[in-house]
Amino acid sequence: MLMGEHAVLAGKLALVTAIDKRINVILTPNTSNTIELIDANLGTMQLNIAEIRQQAPFEFVTAAIQYFEPQIKSGFTLQIRPDFSSKLGFGSSAAVTVATVAVLSAWLHAKQYGLKQLFKISKMIMLQVQGIGSGADIAASVYGGVLAYRVAPLKIIPLSLIPPITAVYCGYKKPTKMVVAMVKDLQQQQPKVFARIFSAMQTCVEQAMLAIRNSDWDSLGMLFMQHHGLQVALGVSDLQLDTLVRQLSAQSNIYGAKISGSGLGDCVIGLGTLASTVFPYDIGQRQQGVIQFALMVDPKGVAYGN
């Protein structure tokens, strides 16, 4: 997520992008009655095709398989090969959902779903598992590139690419569902205040769209910083995140920085590339588990291969 976190759930525009980290899902059919899931990080799991149900830690994968259950007549092995740990966020749940739906549809129907259909089914599965979510990360996984996104009425607007991004993982991650629930509770206590914050976020997104069209990265970086202030006002920042944003934005090659995602953990992002590795900034951050990543925007979303 680039901008519009939380406000997107209130019907506002958000900015989201696909990055050059992928989750590869490989399906190998067999003649058994067993489905085997293999993930280097999460381990293995076996399902009987007669009794497919959503199960941790493969919630999104098993929910996607369950969607196709009436059409599954034989077993298969599903190998999940991520370029990064799911603990880091980066839209991993959305990516693995889209990839699983894509590979199952290609196997069962001998054709690739259109992007609109793939988005619709993947978002439905995501909501089934999470109970809440905008689908912006699903859109990025399906379509790729930089997108302006609105939930309803649905709007997906492709934008020009932006410079590389530096992401800094803060060392911990609070489940999105918990943060969204907390923000919703605060919103009910102060509805007028939150309405103004969400409107200001939409203004940031609209101005960011203009900056992207004009390749005005100084303005986009400033909007990152202003948007971060609005996320602080929502209550989704903390001392570690604020410190990382301040340190990252102070670097000469970074136009601006902010929280990315629901907040209270996960990553901050900076627009631009650091000349050298800076984070972890000190011993405390090293002990906390702070990690720096250089990310490129990937113009391509879901991809099929042999």
Claim to verify: residue 230 and residue 203 sit in the same structural domain: yes
Claim to verify: residue 176 and residue 286 sit in the same structural domain: yes
pLDDT at position 91 = 86
In a domain, 32, yes or no: yes
Claim to verify: residue 129 and residue 170 sit in the same structural domain: no
Claim to verify: residue 190 and residue 288 sit in the same structural domain: yes
Q: How far is it between the farthest Cα atoms of the chain?
A: 59
Task: Give me the tens of pLDDT residue by residue for the chain, a chain 306 residues long.
Answer: 999 999 999 999 999 999 999 999 999 999 999 999 999 888 999 999 999 999 999 999 999 999 999 999 999 999 999 887 776 777 889 999 999 999 999 999 888 889 999 999 999 999 999 888 899 999 999 999 999 999 999 999 999 999 999 999 999 988 888 999 999 999 999 999 999 999 999 999 999 999 999 999 999 999 999 999 999 999 999 999 999 999 999 999 999 999 999 999 999 999 999 989 999 999 999 999 999 999 999 999 999 985
Claim to verify: residue 138 and residue 209 sit in the same structural domain: no
Claim to verify: residue 126 and residue 200 sit in the same structural domain: no
In a domain, 12, yes or no: no
pLDDT at position 110 = 80
pLDDT at position 41 = 85
Answering whether pTM is above 0.75, one says: yes
Claim to verify: residue 100 and residue 165 sit in the same structural domain: no
CATH number assigned to the domain comprising residue 246: 3.30.70.890
CATH number assigned to the domain comprising residue 136: 3.30.230.10
Domain count, the chain: 2
Tell the burial category of 228 from Cβ atoms under 10 Å away from its Cβ (0-12, 13-18, 19+): buried
What residue numbers bound the domain in which 115 lies?
23-143
Claim to verify: residue 174 and residue 236 sit in the same structural domain: yes
pLDDT at position 306 = 58
Domain's final residue, options 97, 114, 143: 143
Domain's final residue, options 117, 143, 169: 143
Q: Of 147, 145, 143, 126, give the one whose Cα is nearest residue 135.
A: 126
Claim to verify: residue 279 and residue 166 sit in the same structural domain: yes
